[in-house]
Amino acid sequence: MRGVVWYIERDFLRWVRGRVAVFSALVMPAAWLIFVGLALPIRFTDNYLDFITPGILVMTMLSAGLSGGTLLMFDKILGFLNKFLALPSPREDILFGKILFVSLRGLIQATIILVIAVLIGASVYSPLQYGLTYLILFLFGVLLSAFATTLALYLEDHDSFAAVNTMISMPLFFTSSALMPYSVMPGWLRVIAMANPLSYAIDAIRAVNAGALPVAQIASLMILGVVVTAVSVQVFRRVTV
Amino acid sequence: MNAIETHDLTRYYGDLCAVNHLSLSVDHEVFALLGPNGSGKTTTVLMLTTMLRPTEGTATVCGHDTVRDGELVRRSLSYVPQDMAVDIKLTGRENALLFARLYGVTAPKDRVDELLAVMQLSDRADELVKVYSGGMRRRLELVQALVHEPEVLFLDEPTLGLDVAARATIWEHITALKKGGMTIFVTTHYMDEADRFCDRVGIISRGMLLALGSPPDLKARLGNDVITAHIDGTFRDPGVDGIMLFAFASDEASFLAENGREALPVLADAFTRAGIKVRALALREPTLDDVFLHTVGTPEEPAGFDQTKFRTMLRRRR
Ligand SMILES: Nc1ncnc2c1ncn2[C@@H]1O[C@H](COP(=O)(O)OP(=O)(O)OP(=O)(O)O)[C@@H](O)[C@H]1O
Ligand SMILES: [Mg+2]
């Protein structure tokens, strides 16, 4: 498992050196937070910012997780993956390193979004509540990055990966409970939103903020994460002999 | 036990046979696999380095089967791919350190320092690889490959795209490594390099091993003398008995003859009689280039030039 640490360190160095990318990933969720969270005239709650912040945090993890697949895609295209595969250290370390790095990077980005939210007026919660929020975001990040890396292993080139990426990320967000509660959704949207894994994470964070412990949602995220990671490992073993 | 053994190693991509029943053994030497583009060199290296599963046949590296004991095989080898893959966003030292740590080398920092010095990269080690030249990147790849002191080193076209001096440096290092007891398996398109620096070469075409031996042996087997003729206008083989055409490219035709000195005037006469204009005739010893062309044939010809068939064809024509 030592290899995982070195793979994560490598990706981390590469990430912080691409300075523009570090900030550009934050622009979208920050803009949502400010322009939608503060500006939208909403009637179902008197603090829409508090309502939408969990959704934006999960959105940050969503795009961080999905774009994490490009890291593996480029390692594959540029020949790094082949060089790593020729090493005696366990090959799965490459995959676990990727999934962990992408999830941790998502958490760092989510932290910045959370700070912005508090600065512009979102409520402050207890350390325990934040701890649970991070746990939920991490589980969701693992689920997403495992999914994205599997996709990157399957697809041949970066273009098709980017295409799939944009194709699923926006619809996933809009069909979740990020923007409105189930009570104000039209019936058809409610059905989709309740099945959407984004909603599990968003609802779980809202429950935590309301003082509850969302065992069911956390358990579902955990089970989904384990299943998708297992699939990813299988695909990885298959494509690498 | 030889460092590398293959037995009927075969790989298909769909219907395409990229490597066809290749049997080889390589041990404590610099071995070069030569062949035209797409002949199966990289595919062979990928199978030997456990990156690709053979369709048929077996291969062992240091006695370990490449399919069954992948991890033991990877422990004994290093692989430098054909397309350079060093991380341009990291410094040279970071690139090397990553591999030293992944290999689980004891005292990775010292080992990296030592190798950076050997490869003359010490003073540039803390710059980003982005600013490295092609030669420096290749040497950095050697550093990465050597951190764990492998028994067998696979280099897929290690001098591709380098200038003459950089190529010479790479070969100096390869030669030094061999003296230290390492087995080195390279692929290359540069015949002069294979001739000068490799103990044995194998020539493959369309996945089949067509010739195997030391460069002097292969040249001696080709025998005799090589005559090259520079032709003006259209060319066709003048067809002289005992003077065999084996390569023709652009305006240069190459012939093999038992006794070059005697063949020269005969050939010149034949050209005149055939009405072919010759600008220059030259006599020289065979080179590995000639062996290569003779073995794989020129692009216009089918691979695996058949000498006897060619002779019969010539006789029939006259
Ligand atoms: N992944 C692949 N899928 C399908 N065909 C492939 C694949 N990789 C290689 N080939 C084919 O297998 C044959 C051998 O390819 P290989 O890369 O081994 O040649 P090579 O000798 O290394 O060539 P070069 O000198 O150009 O590097 C070629 O015809 C190539 O098109
Ligand atoms: Mg090749």
Task: Give CA B127 to chain center in angstroms.
Answer: 32
The answer to whether residues B204 and B242 belong to one domain is no
Q: Which of B180, B213, B246 is the last residue in one of the domains?
A: B213
Ligand 1 touching residue B49 (CB < 6 A): no
User: Which residues on chain A are in Cβ contact (under 8 Å) with B144?
Assistant: 83
The answer to whether residues B188 and B279 belong to one domain is no
CA B41 – CA B11 distance, rounded (Å)? 11
The answer to whether residues B244 and B260 belong to one domain is yes
Residue B34 pLDDT level (bands cut at 50, 70, 90): very high
Chain A, nearest residue to B90 by Cα: A14
CA B193 – CA B170 distance, rounded (Å)? 11
pLDDT reported for residue B301: 42
A with B: how many residue pairs have Cβ under 8 Å apart?
65
Sequence-ordered list of residues with C-beta below 8 angstroms from that of A216, at least 6 positions apart, any chain: none
Query: Locate tokens 């540069």: which residue?
Result: B190
Percent of chain A with pLDDT over 90: 67
The answer to whether residues B77 and B151 belong to one domain is yes
The answer to whether residues B168 and B276 belong to one domain is no
Residue B248 pLDDT level (bands cut at 50, 70, 90): confident
Taking the CA of residue B145 and the nearest CA in chain A, the distance in Å comes to 10
pLDDT reported for residue A166: 86
Query: Locate tokens 């080690």: which residue?
Result: B125
The answer to whether residues B10 and B140 belong to one domain is yes
The answer to whether residues B234 and B115 belong to one domain is no
Quick one: which atom of ligand 1 is closest to the CA of B14?
4
Sequence-ordered list of residues with C-beta below 8 angstroms from that of B260, at least 6 positions apart, any chain: B224, B225, B226, B227, B283
Interface test with A, best of B51, B55, B80, B102 (most A CBs within 10 A): B102
- Asked if the Cβ–Cβ distance from A82 to B81 is below 8 Å, we say yes
Which residue puts its alpha carbon closest to atom 2 of ligand 1? Answer: B13
ipTM of the shown complex: 0.88
- Asked if the Cβ–Cβ distance from A86 to B85 is below 8 Å, we say no
Residue-wise pLDDT for B185-214, tens only, equals 999 999 999 999 999 999 999 999 999 999
Which residue puts its alpha carbon closest to atom 3 of ligand 1? Answer: B13
Determine which of A103-117, B166-180, B215-229 has the lowest per-residue pLDDT on average. B215-229
Percent of chain B with pLDDT over 90: 63
pLDDT reported for residue A238: 84
User: Which residues on chain A are in Cβ contact (under 8 Å) with B75?
Assistant: 88
- Asked if the Cβ–Cβ distance from A14 to B90 is below 8 Å, we say yes
Which residue puts its alpha carbon closest to atom 7 of ligand 1? Answer: B13
- Asked if the Cβ–Cβ distance from B51 to A82 is below 8 Å, we say yes
- In this structure, is the dihedral angle defined by the CA atoms of residues A95, A97, A100 and A104, taken in order, positive or negative? negative
Neighbours of B150 (CB within 10 A): 22
What is the side-by-side strand order in the sheet with B30-34?
B77-80, B152-156, B183-188, B30-34, B200-205, B208-213
Percent of chain A with pLDDT over 70: 100
Chain A, nearest residue to B94 by Cα: A10
pLDDT reported for residue B233: 78
Ligand 1 touching residue B64 (CB < 6 A): no
pLDDT reported for residue B297: 77
Look at chain B and report how many structural domains it folds into.
Answer: 2
Q: Which of B213, B239, B271 is the last residue in one of the domains?
A: B213
Q: What are the boundaries of each domain within chain A?
A: 2-238
Tally the residues of chain A.
Answer: 241
Tally the residues of chain B.
Answer: 318
Ligand 1 touching residue B188 (CB < 6 A): no
Region B234-255 average pLDDT = 83
User: Which residues on chain A are in Cβ contact (under 8 Å) with B84?
Assistant: 79
Q: Which of B189, B213, B237 is the last residue in one of the domains?
A: B213
Query: DSSP characters for A9-30?
Result: HHHHHHHHHSHHHHHHHHHHHH
The answer to whether residues B258 and B286 belong to one domain is yes
Residue-wise pLDDT for B111-154, tens only, equals 999 999 999 999 999 999 999 999 999 999 999 999 999 999 99
Taking the CA of residue A157 and the nearest CA in chain B, the distance in Å comes to 17
pLDDT reported for residue A114: 95
Domain that holds residue B240: 219-317
Neighbours of B232 (CB within 10 A): 10
pLDDT reported for residue B198: 96
Chain A, nearest residue to B70 by Cα: A88
Residue B101 sits in a domain whose CATH number is 3.40.50.300
Residue B283 sits in a domain whose CATH number is 3.30.70
CA B141 – CA B132 distance, rounded (Å)? 12
Residue-wise pLDDT for A153-202, tens only, equals 888 888 999 898 888 988 999 999 998 899 889 999 999 999 999 999 99
The answer to whether residues B236 and B166 belong to one domain is no
> Which residues lie across from B186 on neighbouring strands?
B32, B155
Ligand 1 touching residue B35 (CB < 6 A): yes
The answer to whether residues B33 and B95 belong to one domain is yes
- As a three-state string, the secondary structure of chain B is CCCEEEEEEEEEECCEEEEEEEEEEECCCEEEEECCCCCCHHHHHHHHCCCCCCCEEEEEECCEECCCCHHHHHHHEEEECCCCCCCCCCEHHHHHHHHHHHCCCCCHHHHHHHHHHHCCCHHHCCCEHHHCCHHHHHHHHHHHHHCCCCCEEEEECCCCCCCHHHHHHHHHHHHHHHHCCCEEEEEECCHHHHHHHCCEEEEEECCEEEEEECHHHHHHHHCCEEEEEEEECCCCCCCECCEEEEEEECCEEEEEECCHHHHHHHHHHHHHHHCCEEEEEEEECCCHHHHHHHHHCCCCCCCCCCHHHHHHHHHHHC
Residue-wise pLDDT for A19-61, tens only, equals 788 888 888 889 888 888 887 777 777 788 899 999 999 999 9
The answer to whether residues B47 and B18 belong to one domain is yes
pLDDT reported for residue A36: 86
The answer to whether residues B203 and B227 belong to one domain is no
User: Which residues on chain B are in Cβ contact (under 8 Å) with A84?
Assistant: 102
